[in-house]
Amino acid sequence: MQNHFAKRRVVAALLSCVATSTLAPAAFAADGASAAQSDAIVVTARKREETAQDVPVSLNAFGSDQLESANVRSGKDIAAITPGLVWKGDKVVGGSNIFIRGIGTTTTSAGIASAVGVYFDEVYLSSQLMSNIAAYDLARVEVLKGPQGTLYGQNTTGGAIRFIPKAPRVGGGESADIKVDVGNYGATNVEGGASFDISSTMAARVSFKNESRNGIYRNLTDGGHMGKLDSKALRLQLRWEPVDNLSIEPTVNYAKASSDGAFYKRIDYTNETMDGYCANPRPGTAPGCASVFGPYGFDVPGQGVVQPDGNAYHLSTSFGKTAEEVVKMLGGSLKVEYGLGAFSVTSVTSYYDVKDHVLQDVDDAAPNLTNQWDTNHTHQFTQELRLTSTTSGPLDWVVGAYYFDESIKAEVAVYGPNYATFYDQKSKAVSLFGESTYHFTDKLALALGLRWSHDKREIDFATGGASAVNGMDYIDINRSDLVDPLSFAGSKSWGRFSGRAVLSYKLDDALLYASYSRGFKGGVFNLGAASVDAMNFVKPETVDAYELGVKSEWFDNRLILNAAAFYYDYKDKQETYFNNGRTILSNAQARVYGLEIDATAHPVRGMTLQAGASLLDTKYTSFPGCNVEYGGPDLLVGAGTTPINCTGNRLTGAPKSSIYLMARYDLDILGRTLTPQVDARYTSRTFFNYENLDFNSQGGYWLVNARLGYEISDAIKLSGWVQNIASKQYYVDGYNISATGSGLLNPGKPRTYGATLEMSF
């Protein structure tokens, strides 16, 4: 009893920011206990199976039922239920900017990795193009917050997101499940999987997904609609257990997704003319520079901007679509695991081939002004070998080695036949890692981890002529300095240590931990450079993270309450900005303070309440040359002269607060279950650009969703749902194009509604 009250005092102190005193024990009926047990999700965040509440790491884990109730259909949907996670941009297919606790990458160039690692099961997906097409037929998703450099290596300074598929089980017999969605905008989605035994030692699972949707955006130029989606995916998994303690698991993945674009609505300023660029000044430019694109944008209050149409889902584009994009992925992995008594040996080998091409109307204007053609072809090979202890002694450990090999060929053609860039980049990395946890007692433990990595990156880069794409005529805007072919070749290598130290103490119903971790993201060449003289290399970025956390269970596990406070020292953060029409990379310094709280309660039988909140205070501590002001009639060549100082500004993709609320109630109706659910998410003002310009940001807003499910039988469930009930118009990404006096904003999804039929056999 004394220990019990001591635990309450310690946990209450760490959770002083939470009004736990309002949660009286009488409010929680005993019938809620069984429901609480279902919240214990088993994760493998530390390369071994543990329940999420027993891991001294800040993470969010979602099982398949939770993913379905939240209407998760792609990777970016995870952000809606994870405070602190921002999936910047509402791209139909292709790459996305992912941020965890304000740490992320501001470019989606194929050869520049994200600061948040994305994993399919145990395989790192280097290409950001694959982040949106791995999420189907899932057993769970794990969102690991903070640097994960020890066990997951480079490019995880912000954290890691793991998509773990449903897997076959030898001796599991035959089973299948299928899910069918229909919705407005002609949306359909059919996905599912079937598991079966091939023999007494081998089982298989086949999974599939087929999704399509009509356009949800209207083109004011021709009255047509844009935003179509056509996505197909197929996965085959085998599990073979030829002898005791040996398992062999090959997996093959294929996916193809196509759309007509990620949609960016252009914002312009008054008094502009096609011949006289200098008319009305606007924020972020020198006096006398207005937009060159004419009145095709919409109003920004207080900024004197034309507004032909204020609807976020109405666009103006020159060729009936803002983009045409196709992504193809083919690859797989082979996992072999063998138990040797005191430890197990695990080998994970993977290879993926990804192709992507994009034709995009960059200006989003009715005149055929500025278009861009991108093609990328990525080959990725990885090999991991590790040993993991399996005994029950005081010391748990895992050691391993990792090899990564990636090659990328890309072409970017912009503005006209006289301008294109080509690059061929090769990246290799070798690392050794290990982490051990020593249990001094059954309550006190210390985990220490270290990883050494050596990386090398080579680039062949050239600029030169390019032919028009698909018969499109490009506007020549006098980039005569790029007509003659020029080339650049270079290589860089570096070695880095990353690691983690975690001290944890387990009370009867709580886990307290204090941690330090370091992560790094590899150095990069400026793959967005428009010319050889703009090509540069920026050194690796590092994050030193300090965190205090508590994971607690109250009232016989009917309330789960977790909290974490953290501080990040962000060194050499890689940032992208535009200068004279060129993309420039540089290093900045930053810091992050934050607090996160997650709670799940089962006050009475059948009721589930969830709440989560993330509070962030971010700042660039040094970023003196984040952009340049533009002025004068010379639109691109030599226009940028005056540096802009972003020191003291907030980080992009880092809202000061985000909140998630959910209420679900399982009602017994004649022996069947009726489940109403309402959830809501609030996101405070988010800046899309490090200049922190109001017009290039989204103010605070709520999105509210609802779902009603009915269990027709043990094997059939029917649900109706509405996303964004109020049809809130909001923006999830944006760009400031200083050289043209213009900017672009990417609208989030309007209200969608539909029905889902789930069947299992």
DSSP assignment of 581-605 equals TEEEEEEEEEEEEEEEEEEEE--ST
Closest of 290, 268, 287, 269 to residue 279, by C-alpha: 290
How confident is the model at residue 392, as a pLDDT?
A: 86
In Å, how far are 21, 55, 56, 438, 564 from 16, measured between CA atoms?
10, 22, 20, 30, 12
CA atoms within 13 A on the CB side of 49: 4
Going by the DSSP 8-state scheme, the letter that residue 54 receives in this structure is G
How confident is the model at residue 261, as a pLDDT?
A: 63
In Å, how far are 139, 165, 481, 675 from 162, measured between CA atoms?
11, 10, 45, 28
Q: CA–CA separation, 152 vs 116, rounded Å?
A: 11
Return the H-helix or E-strand segment holding 677: strand 672-683
Residue 196: count of CB within 10 angstroms of its CB: 14
Q: CA–CA separation, 747 vs 191, rounded Å?
A: 27
What six digits make up the tokens of 166?
Answer: 């449903």
Closest of 405, 398, 414, 343 to residue 378, by C-alpha: 405
How confident is the model at residue 306, as a pLDDT?
A: 39
Q: CA–CA separation, 306 vs 302, rounded Å?
A: 11
CATH of the domain at 337: 2.40.170.20
How confident is the model at residue 39, as a pLDDT?
A: 58
Residue 354: count of CB within 10 angstroms of its CB: 24
Our count of domains for the chain comes to 1
Burial class, 636, CB count within 10 angstroms (exposed 0-12 / middle 13-18 / buried 19+): buried
For the stretch 362-387, pLDDT in tens is 655 555 556 677 788 999 999 999 99
CA atoms within 13 A on the CB side of 219: 23
> What are the contacts of 39-47 at 24+ separation with CB within 8 A?
39/560, 39/600, 41/140, 43/140, 43/142, 44/142, 44/164, 45/142, 45/144, 45/162, 46/151, 46/398, 46/435, 47/151, 47/386, 47/388, 47/398
Any alpha helices (H) in 45-95, and if so which ranges?
64-69
**Residue 309 belongs to what domain range?**
2-760
How confident is the model at residue 337, as a pLDDT?
A: 97
User: What pTM, to 2 d.p., does this model score?
Assistant: 0.88
Under 8 Å between Cβ of 156 and 119 = no
First-to-last alpha carbon distance for the chain, in angstroms, is 48
| Residues of the chain where predicted confidence (pLDDT) is lower than 50 | 1-30, 32-38, 269-308, 416-417, 466-484, 580, 630-640
Q: What share of the chain is helix, strand, coil (3-state, %, to 5)?
A: 10, 55, 35
How confident is the model at residue 604, as a pLDDT?
A: 94
Q: CA–CA separation, 76 vs 516, rounded Å?
A: 28
